[in-house]
Structure 1
Amino acid sequence: MSDKKVIRLRRARRSRLKQRELEAVRLCVYRSSQHMYAQVISADGSQVLASASTLDESLRNGGTGNIEAAKKVGLLVAERAKAAGVTQVSFDRSGFKYHGRVKALADAAREGGLEF
């Protein structure tokens, strides 16, 4: 594993430990070079309550690795989380910097009705 990835995972572990301590439902985000993934995970970490990604058929048209696609994923995961009865979440950025696609997804999820 590269040093860059190890450092990111260390940052992610630190924030996840705090979120587990607070027993918060998490909105977990993963960013690859081509896609964006988001999951709403239960407080104990045993269940995925809602998920969305650029791999979904409805989001495949157009680019999948850009800010516009991240916004669509944010809105879709917020819609699905609200359908599952979740409105309050803790944002888990998985150690990624809060800018660009990660920020766009978070802003869109807030727009869609999630509170964090």
Structure 2
Amino acid sequence: MATPKESLRRRASRIRRSLKKVANGRPRLSVHRSSKNIYAQVIDDEAGRTLASASSLEPSLRKELKTGADVAAAQAVGKLVAERAKEAGVTDVVFDRGAFIYHGRVKAVADSAREAGLNF
């Protein structure tokens, strides 16, 4: 029987495998959430580079957020990563939710990134 950590890793790799089929060279917006923070980064898999990133640990966000583990923090991170991606010249991405279901904080990151100008 697989451990919970192995199950998460397998689920994330299954999602990424299906994303590579539909990406058509677009970078992916990868989201990771922990119990205390949320992280997002735009990754170019062909070059193996991170083009833009944001997290609830950044000093500018920590001052204005009550906690890094709520929907408000996720919305702020989504907006910030979208702004940084646009500065890097990225407008079209594929959304990589990893092993997490598309609900709550993960959905808040996606929605705020869309509102800030990313297309996916």
TM-score (norm 1): 0.92
| Structural mapping, 1:86-105, within 5 Å | 86-105=90-109
Deviation of 1:45 after TM superposition, in Å, equals 5.5
Deviation of 1:9 after TM superposition, in Å, equals 1.8
Q: Does 1:9 align with 2:9?
A: yes
Quick check: 1:40–1:49 contact (8 Å CA) kept in 2? yes
Q: Does 1:60 align with 2:62?
A: yes
1: distance between equivalents of 2:47 and 2:36? 26
CA RMSD after TM alignment: 1.4
Identical residues among aligned pairs (%) = 53
Of residues 85, 100, 111, the one that matches 1:107 is 111
48-57 or 20-29, which deviates more: 20-29
Q: Residue 49 of structure 1 corresponds to which residue in structure 2? A: 51
Quick check: 1:74–1:105 contact (8 Å CA) kept in 2? yes
Q: Does 1:25 align with 2:1?
A: no
Amino acid corresponding to residue 51 of structure 1 in structure 2: S
Deviation of 1:24 after TM superposition, in Å, equals 2.9
Quick check: 1:38–1:73 contact (8 Å CA) kept in 2? yes
What residue ranges of structure 1 are gaps of 5+ in the alignment?
A: none
TM-score (norm 2): 0.89
Deviation of 1:12 after TM superposition, in Å, equals 1.0
2: distance between equivalents of 1:76 and 1:54? 10
Q: Residue 83 of structure 2 corresponds to which residue in structure 1? A: 79
Deviation of 1:44 after TM superposition, in Å, equals 1.4
Q: Describe the SS at the equivalent of 2:41.
A: strand
Q: How many residues align?
A: 115
Quick check: 1:20–1:43 contact (8 Å CA) kept in 2? no
Indicate how the Cα distance of structure 1 residues 31 and 45 shifts in structure 2: closer, same or farther if over 3 A, else same.
Answer: farther
